[in-house]
Structures are given as C-alpha cells and as structure tokens.
Amino acid sequence: MLSCNKVSKLLSQYYDGQLNADMCKQIAEHLDWCDACQRELEAIRAVSEGLKGLCEIEPSKEFAASLHTRLLQAAREKRESEAAGAALWFYRIPAWLRDWRVYSAAAACLLALFVLGNDISKNNYSDSPPTAPFLDNAQNYKSDPAQASVSEGAGTVQDKSGNGTGNNAPAAQNTDKPPVTGGALPKGNPNSQITPQTQTGAGNGGELPYQEPDAAQSYPTAPSNDTGVANQDEEDGYAAAALPAQEPGTQRSPGAAQKSAAQTAEPIQQPETPALILAEPSGSAADSALAVSPEPAGTGGRTGASLSASTAPVASPAKPSLFFKAADSAVFAAAEALARDYGSVSYRGNVMIVKVANDKFDDFLKALGALKGLSPEQPDATGLPNGSDDDGDGFQYVEISLE
Amino acid sequence: MSRTSSEAQLIARCRQGDVEAFETLIAAYEKKVLSTAYAMLGNHEDASDAAQEVFLKLFASIDKFGEQSSFSTWLYRVTVNVCYDELRKRKYRSENTVSLTPDETGESAQLQLADKNAGPLELAEQAELRDALRRAIASLGEQYRTVIILREIQGLEYQQIADILHCSLGTVKSRMSRARRMLADKLIKNKELFR
C-alpha cells in the first residue's frame, strides 16, 4: 500500500501517463480511499486544463512583415560577410606564405628528410642500449669477428625469445663474483652474451644487445683463441656468460640452477667454490652459445651443465665497487674494446661486466681512465655487491653501463 | 525525432540563404514560439521581440544545424534561451510581471471569441482562472516555469523537453511534479476557483 507522501510525488506522472500499469493500479487504489490525494490530483487536472491554450497568440501582420524584412537583410549581410571573409582570410596571410613556391620548397625538404630518415633507420642498430659492439646473435656468431653477421632483431640481453626458441645455446653461469642482479636475465634465457671468442658459430641462447655492422672493423680479434675457446676464461673453464639472476646475499647454488629453455635439463653440480658454471657445449656448434670446455672435476665445481640465467646466486663480500658510466654508445663501445683487450666481457642486462685478471687490472684501469666520456659511478641499487672484489680467484670485475 | 523530407529540403535551401524557404519552414512554428515567449516573458511586446530574435538566430545558424535533434527541438531550445536572456537582461521579477494585468486586446478577447457558447459568468470565471494561472506561472522560478509551459501549453513530450533543456528525463519529471504542486497550492488558495 502506497503512502500519501509517495502518491503525492507520483501524481504528476500518474496524470501524464508516465507510470507503468502496476504503479498506476496502486495509485488508483490509494485514490479510492484517500480524499487528500484525490483533491491534489484534481488540482493538477485543473491546472493542466486551465493552462491549455493559455498564452496563445496569433502573429500579427506587422510581425510577419518586420520579420521578413529582417530576414532579407540578414541574408544579404551573410552573403557579404562570407565573401569578405573569404577574401580577407586569404589576404591576411603574409605574402610570402601565399607564394606557391614556398610550399613546393617545403614539400621538397620534407621529402628529402623522409628519404634520409628512412635511409638512416635502415642502418640503425636495435633500439636497446648498445652493449658490445660486435655482439651478435648467438646463432650467427662466427669465430672470426669479421664473419659475425649482423642481424636485425638482435635484441637486448633480455631475450625476447625467452623460451629459448632459436637460442639453443645453454646458459652459462658465472659463479664467480660479481653475482648477477635479479632479473638481469629472464629465467630460462640462456646467456645472452658471448665473447667474440666463444665462436664456433654457436648461438649464445640469447639475442645480443646490438650488432656491429662490420665486426671485422670494430672488434678486436680473439687473442689466439682459434680453438673455439673464447678466451682465457674458457681455457680455464670459465664462460664469460651473463650472470643469472640471483637473490642478493645468497650463496650461489648451482644446484638451484635451472636449465635453459634451449637445453635439456641436467642437474648442475654444486661447485665447491664459487666458479663459473660452464655451459655445456651443445651438439651443434651453431647452437652453443659458449664454447667452453667442461670443467674438470675438482676444479671448483665447474660443470658443463647448462644453466639458465636465473640460477645459483653467489654471495660476494661487499667491497667498494668499480662502476663506470659511459657518456654515449661510442664511449661504451670503446670501453668494451678495451675490456676485451684486458679480459673478458659479459653482460647483465645492459650493463657490461668486465672480468680482468689481477695482473692486468691496474693497466686496465689506467686504460679506462684515459677513455674520455667514462666516469665512475655509484653502485646500483640492487644490493648485490658488484665490482672489483678480489675474492682470491685471480680476477677482478668492473661494471660499465651506458648513460 | 525524424525529420520530414520536405522539412529537410527546406532546411537545405535555407542553408543556401533562401529566405522564402525559411519563412515556409517556420510558418508552422510562429505561433508556438510566440506563445512560449509570451508565457515566459508575460507581455505581448516582449514576446514579439523575442520571437523575431529567435527566428533571426535560427536563420543565421541554419547551416550549423546538425542531425542530432529535430528542428522543433532546436527551435524550442533557442526560444527558451532567448527568453532566459531577456529575463536576465531586464531582471524580470515575477511579482511585477505585466501578466498580472491581462492584455485585454489579446487573450481575453480571444477567449471570448473562442467560446461563444459560454455565458458571461463562465467567461468571467475562465478569464479569472487564466489570470490567476498566469500570475502563478510568472511566480515560478525559470526552471519550473519552462517545463510547465513546454508541457502544458505546448504539449511537448517529457523526452523532448529533456532534449530541449539538456537535462535528464528524471529531472523533467521532478520539475513537472514540483511545478504543478506549486501552481495547485497557489490556486487552492483561491478556493472559489475550485468548486
């Protein structure tokens, strides 16, 4: 049963037929016994009836004549203003802008810029920050840097094909310090960085940050590493691989390493001491990202098992780190070239990690110091100790990033 | 609201500056605009001026008239806005409306002519009621006055009123209900009108 208050609010719509059948029925039932609401409805009806036809006015002849005159005048003024506006609009433009030759010249410039831009973009490297100048897609890597092919799509260390498709090289893990910050490489992503010496045409399991269009011109040749061993590291059983992600402060546990997507799973042997976990050479030279020799037993746990990037955290004592920031890609490339002269290079994301033997470290630092555009930097905020810690393994580390 | 083809043709000609086409187009709306303006402004002269201004505005901007609404909706919208402008310009006050004094040369005479069968007493009563109604309408606020005029005098549907006033259907219903109750309250005070 509706209340009078409710009915009162709905009477106007009830009168206009704006309510549904059910509501109309309820209101009608209410009006049957409620005199007050009935009177209110009658008042609404009286008002409505009384307003019908109220204020009706017939337009007078004077009204029509006056309106006609004003409309003609308005039409004439409209035509004149449109004509004047069009002319005025054109002549408001400065004379030199009205000259067709200006637009022809502008069109020619735009066309030239477009063609030039197209041409430049074709020669551009990937958009990712440059890391190693000649780092090539692992699959295309050749022993001779000159043979290193440049392929577009060499991406960042964070390989897009994280599932390892096309990147079938096993991920090598550097169990030595510095440990890799978490997320440097996606899980399952094999090492995305290979030293040029890790040739054999093996893929590194990951796209390289960028590629040198002419590796022979830019990259130092591998120092007498024609055996397929990339560098001194490899001779020692190390692979200059990008370090896998790891928990800060945790001991790198090769046992926790995961297989790269490109490799069949094989448990990683626990190294007795922090050491590089070598990527097991795959059957195909073109597949292996790291042509490293298996670590002999007892040498610190270097195994040939392949690891994904996200394996085996390594703890390192926190010591002052050596970080450098390159002002631009040219400086970065120069720093990499120097690094390869003195040691081995790997990448953690866009950060170059240089591993240099102790006896060459001072010279390396001097060479870096002479490089213009390279400035010392603060350690990153990952919390993981990186840098030139000397843990007794005979090597020190430097990290170089691009501004 | 659909637009008739003839109306569409007239509008197309109006866009070309055809005055005759425009006058044909507005012929069916002249009385509506005049009566709306009269109800809003309360006197003949103001209503006539406002109506001419409405038609001149429509003619000047006919080429900008889009397809979003019907011509009548657009026409009423311009009419209401012109009346609002006039009310604000002249600081029109409901208690001082000229409608307090009925225009003897206008509506009252028309009523007498329209209802020839009504006796003098009935005509007087009707005239008195209409005067009371005009006073009551003039005493309403602009928003309530507008919806009452568009609904009760022009007979427009709720949705079209909402389109004209750029408000929701619920707002129109609410204002209608409120406006009618206020008018009824004012008229109930004149009990002799409700026997």
Q: Which helix (H) or strand (E) holds A399?
A: strand A395-402
C-alpha distances in angstroms, A390 versus A159, A183, A335? 30, 24, 21
**Six-digit token string for B68:** 């979003």
- The confidence score (pLDDT) of residue B6 equals 84
Task: Extract the runs of DSSP E, i.e. beta strands, from A252-394.
Answer: 323-326, 343-348, 351-357, 374-377
C-alpha distances in angstroms, A245 versus A155, A264, B91? 19, 20, 77
User: Which residues are A397's β-sheet partners?
Assistant: A355
Q: Taking CA atoms, what residue in A is nearest to B38?
A: A55
Model confidence, pTM: 0.46
Give residue for tokens 């001097």.
A366
Min distance A43 CA to chain B CA atoms (Å): 5
Q: Do A54 and B184 touch (CB under 8 A)?
A: no
SS3 A372: coil
Q: Do B19 and A75 touch (CB under 8 A)?
A: yes
- The confidence score (pLDDT) of residue B51 equals 96
Q: Which residue ranges make up each domain of chain A?
A: 4-44, 109-403
Residue A15's closest CA among B35, B173, B64? Answer: B173
What is the separation of C-alpha A192 from the centre of its chain, rounded to a whole number of angstroms? 17
Residues 8..47 of B with a Cβ closer than 8 Å to A: which?
Answer: 17, 19, 22-23, 30-31, 34-36, 38-39, 44, 47
Closest partner CB to A18 (pick from B60, B158, B180): B158
Q: Do A55 and B38 touch (CB under 8 A)?
A: yes
Q: Taking CA atoms, what residue in B is nearest to A66?
A: B52
Residues of A in contact with B48 (CB under 8 A): 60, 63
Number of H helices, E strands in chain B: 10, 0
Q: Are A179 and A251 in contact (CB under 8 A)?
A: no
Task: List CB contacts of A130: < 8 A, sequence separation 6 or more.
Answer: A209, A210, A329, A332, A333, A402
What is the separation of C-alpha A370 from the centre of its chain, rounded to a whole number of angstroms? 33
Which of A275 and B173 is assigned the larger pLDDT?
B173
Q: How many other C-beta atoms can be found within 10 angstroms of the C-beta atom of residue A92?
A: 9
- The confidence score (pLDDT) of residue A229 equals 43
Mutate to test the interface with A, among B145, B181, B194 (most CBs of A within 10 A): B181
Q: Highest-confidence range of A277-286, A373-382, B128-137, B139-148, by mean pLDDT? A: B139-148
Q: Do A40 and B173 touch (CB under 8 A)?
A: no
Q: Do B17 and A47 touch (CB under 8 A)?
A: no
Closest partner CB to A50 (pick from B39, B47, B133): B133
Amino acid identity of residue A141, one-letter, is Y
Residues 307..366 of A with a Cβ closer than 8 Å to B: which?
Answer: none
Mutate to test the interface with A, among B14, B36, B45, B48 (most CBs of A within 10 A): B48
Residues of B in contact with A59 (CB under 8 A): 30-31, 34, 51
- The confidence score (pLDDT) of residue B166 equals 93
Closest partner CB to B22 (pick from A10, A64, A71): A71
- Given pLDDT bands bounded at 50, 70 and 90, which one contains residue B122? confident
Residue A15's closest CA among A56, A52, A50, A47? Answer: A47
Q: Do B56 and A43 touch (CB under 8 A)?
A: no
Q: Does A80 touch chain B (CB under 8 A)?
A: no
**How far apart, in whole angstroms, are the C-alpha atoms of residue A288 and residue A165?**
13
Residues in chain A predicted with pLDDT less than 50, given as ranges, are 138-139, 141-320, 380-387
Task: List CB contacts of B19: < 8 A, sequence separation 6 or more.
Answer: A68, A71, A72, A75, B59
User: Which residues are A180's β-sheet partners?
Assistant: A245
B1-92 fold: Rna Polymerase Sigma Factor; Chain: A (1.10.1740)
C-alpha distances in angstroms, A45 versus A14, A50, A232? 11, 8, 104
Mutate to test the interface with B, among A6, A19, A47 (most CBs of B within 10 A): A47
Tell me phi and psi for residue A59, to 5 degrees.
Answer: -65, 135
Q: Do A71 and B39 touch (CB under 8 A)?
A: no
- The confidence score (pLDDT) of residue A207 equals 47
User: Which residues are A345's β-sheet partners?
Assistant: A354
Tell me phi and psi for residue B158, to 5 degrees.
Answer: -60, -45
- The confidence score (pLDDT) of residue B118 equals 63
Residue A324's closest CA among A383, A365, A362? Answer: A365
- The confidence score (pLDDT) of residue B99 equals 45
SS3 A88: helix
What is the separation of C-alpha B136 from the centre of its chain, rounded to a whole number of angstroms? 15
Q: Do B153 and A54 touch (CB under 8 A)?
A: yes
Which of A286 and B27 is assigned the larger pLDDT?
B27
Closest partner CB to A47 (pick from B19, B60, B184): B184
Edge-first strand order for the sheet with A374-377 is A343-348, A351-357, A395-402, A323-326, A374-377
Count of alpha carbons within 13 angstroms of residue B183, beta-carbon side? 36
Ramachandran sector of residue A214 (left: φ over 0; alpha: ψ -120 to 50; beta: rest): beta
Summarised one tens digit per residue, pLDDT across range B49-92 is 999 999 999 999 988 887 677 899 999 999 999 999 998 887 65
Q: Do A47 and B60 touch (CB under 8 A)?
A: no
Q: Do A71 and B158 touch (CB under 8 A)?
A: no
Tell me phi and psi for residue A348, to 5 degrees.
Answer: -120, 100
Count how many pairs of residues, chain A against chain B, have C-beta atoms within 8 Å: 120
User: How many residues comprise chain A?
Assistant: 403
Q: What sign does the dihedral A258-A262-A265-A266 (CA atoms) show? A: negative
Q: Do B177 and A50 touch (CB under 8 A)?
A: no
Q: Does B194 touch chain A (CB under 8 A)?
A: yes
Residues of A in contact with B23 (CB under 8 A): 67-68, 71
Min distance A35 CA to chain B CA atoms (Å): 15
Q: Does B193 touch chain A (CB under 8 A)?
A: yes
Residues 18..77 of A with a Cβ closer than 8 Å to B: which?
Answer: 18, 40, 42-44, 46-48, 50-60, 63-64, 66-68, 70-72, 74-75
* Mean pLDDT, residues B30-58: 93
Q: Are A2 and A30 in contact (CB under 8 A)?
A: yes
Q: How many other C-beta atoms can be found within 10 angstroms of the C-beta atom of residue A50?
A: 20
**Six-digit token string for A223:** 């120092």
Amino acid identity of residue B53, one-letter, is E
Q: Are A175 and A254 in contact (CB under 8 A)?
A: yes
B116-125, long-range: CB within 8 Å, 24+ apart, which pairs?
B125/B193
